A and B are shown apart, each in its own frame.
Chain A
Amino acid sequence: MFSVYKKELQSFFFTPFAYALAALFMFLFTYMFNTSIARLDSSTFRFTFPEIFYNLIFFFIFLIPIMTMRTFADERKFGTEVLLMTSPVNVLQIVLGKFFANVTVFLFMLLGSALFPIVTALNGEVIVSQLACAYIGFFFWGCMFIALGMLISSFTENSIIAAIIGEIVMFAFIFLDDFSQTAFMSQFPKLQSVVYAFAAQPRFSYFSQGFIRVSDLVFFISAIIVFLAWNYISIEKRRWNRG
């Protein structure tokens, strides 16, 4: 597992890929940060980092599929899948190795974003507990979407298609929340509560308000496990169906 992890990290960090992605993320964060500060002219308006993260979620719908699109699609495209499958490692180890590598890149991006709270803390005041909760929430939210993006990458050998489908699916995930609030859905309160339970966005907003709820943690962790398991099954299934 470790060699797959290492190789994936090399493919991110020995190429401009991870840096370009992190730069894009930093650019978005800077933009949000600066506009928020610019609006601080009245004493009644205040800005919080969790709020920035909350807005960033919408940008991440585009960033995460770009990060995960190559994961399995390129292995198939270049025929290197054969190498992985005929090596003395099992598919689960391959999936986990790749997942942790993607998570590492995600952490690298989050690390870059820590610059802003540090600068703010030097010149003002940061509510550390709330910020930490927002980071935790954002981390889990990102891991879930990484697992989802990898799953979609395992469906196709075209990485661009994987990215586009990933964006659509993640967008749908975000809008489950809005969908569950529609007049149509409120006709069926039971169904509405089920759909709402699957919405990731309101769960993240609890984190950004400084709450760590066990139910939210369970939701994110089980979603990650489901997507990774599905990923494993999808790869095994394709080998069986091939032809």
Chain B
Amino acid sequence: MITIENLTKFYGSNRAVNNISFTINDNEILGFLGPNGAGKSTTMNMIAGYLPMSGGNVTICGTDITRDPVKAKSNIGYLPEIPPVYPDMRVKEYLAFCAGLKKIPAGKRRDEISRVMDLLKITDVKNKLIKNLSKGYKQRVGFAQALLGDPKFLILDEPTVGLDPNQVIEVRNIIKSLKKGHSVIFSSHILSEVQAVCDRVVIINKGDIKAMDTIANLEKNYAGDTVLHVTVKGAKGTAASVIELTDGVKEISAITAVSDDTFEFTVVLSGDADETRTRLMSELIKNNIQISEIYAEKPDLENVFSQLIGQSTKPNGLKELLDEMGPAPEGDFIADTFTEKEEDK
């Protein structure tokens, strides 16, 4: 178990991480979420013992990292944001060097190296110079390094950045398979990934913890009002008044013209969403309005995320958020689906 207590980091007078505390249990994958510059990497660097903390404690499997760094670090496998690889070394040499650094007994090194190479499917590039590898392969070599010696605690800082969609899925499956017998902290700004992999999430923004819970609880507590998208044919005015007057409808937040006579209404519901939805549909039918499509925006982590870090929950809030978070990496499913949705409109 890993305990982080009141962790604080000052860069000069600028507070990058502000008094955060959480624990990572055994057999657990903890997602660490936040926009760029939220203090994710700083926190991870402190937990890994690379950066000294300005205040607070990090205890790794019962060892305080500042009191006995060598012992604490022997339980850590760390994949930093930029994979720490030497461009002039061959993959095999590099992993052999890391195995030595991690004090894996000389007799076991060869087996251990071939184990991690098989796991990350880099055996076929083992004799290549690292500088000649693609970004995805470099990332996997860095990941292999973190898994050497099978450390109990893994710190993975955006492990899927730069991988193609198939590799992303492979790496996610590897992370999931590591759950047994390990504690994993895994940072990302790709929400679908966190949803797919993690048990619990910690959401951090500007150095403060904004939320810490299981994904299901977060969705339940923070998701807010259900948003319904209703596409109708003709009679824009009638439809608008019918929708507005239906019980349980809070407001119509947007009307978009899909074509000359087809309009999409974005409707915010309050109270019991399912009931309102049924009522709304029967009201529309009663008034002879043709419904061509109706779907509810699923309350999910995206909404929670945007709400927690102070963004609007309007449908385009996420888009803005993603823009703010910089260009989406390859294999970013959310960004992909989102652009599709945009185009559909």
Contact = CB atoms under 8 A, between A and B. Distances in A.
Contacts of B98: 83, 87
B235 to A, nearest CB: 61
Contact of A10 (B70, B93, B103): B93
B101 A4 contact: yes
Given A10-B93, A83-B98, A239 B52 contact: yes
A45 B141 CA distance: 62
Given A10-B89, A10-B93, A88 B50 contact: no
Nearest to B155: A86
Contacts of B49: 85-86
Contacts of B50: 82, 85-86, 239
B180 to A, nearest CB: 24
Given A82-B50, A243-B11, A7 B97 contact: yes
Contact of B71 (A4, A15, A88): A88
Contacts of B76: 86
Interface string B13-38: 01010000000000000000000000
A78 interface: yes
Contacts of A86: 48-50, 73, 76, 78
Given A10-B89, A87-B73, A242-B11, A3 B82 contact: no
A189 interface: no
User: Could you say which of A6, A79, A90 has the most chain B C-beta atoms within 10 Å of its C-beta?
Assistant: A79
A47 interface: no
A83 B45 CA distance: 11
B84 interface: yes
A80 interface: yes
Contacts of B51: 239, 242
A2 B99 CA distance: 12
B148 to A, nearest CB: 10
Contact of A90 (B70, B87, B145): B70
Nearest to A91: B69
B102 interface: yes
A6 B11 CA distance: 35
A78 B101 contact: no
Nearest to A15: B88
Interface string A1-31: 0111011001100110000000000000000
A78 B48 contact: no
Interface string A194-210: 00000000000000000
Contacts of B62: none
A184 interface: no
A171 to B, nearest CB: 30
Interface residues of B, number: 34
A193 B101 CA distance: 46
Given A87-B73, A88-B74, A242-B51, A79 B80 contact: yes
A83 B71 contact: no
A87 B80 contact: no
A88 B88 contact: no
B86 A88 contact: no
A239 B48 CA distance: 13
A165 B5 CA distance: 43
Contact of B84 (A83, A89, A242): A83
Interface string A84-105: 1111111000000000000000
Contacts of A80: 84-86
B100 interface: yes
A213 B12 CA distance: 49
Contacts of A78: 84-87
A126 to B, nearest CB: 40
Interface string B80-116: 1011111111000100011011110000000000000
B126 to A, nearest CB: 15
Given A87-B101, A87-B102, A243-B16, 7 more contacts: A2-B100, A86-B76, A88-B101, A89-B70, A90-B70, A243-B12, A243-B14
23 contacts: A2-B100, A3-B97, A3-B100, A6-B97, A10-B89, A10-B93, A78-B84, A79-B80, A80-B85, A80-B86, A82-B48, A82-B50, A83-B98, A84-B101, A86-B50, A86-B73, A86-B78, A87-B73, A88-B69, A239-B50, A239-B52, A240-B52, A243-B12
Interface of A: 2-4, 6-7, 10-11, 14-15, 78-90, 239-240, 242-243
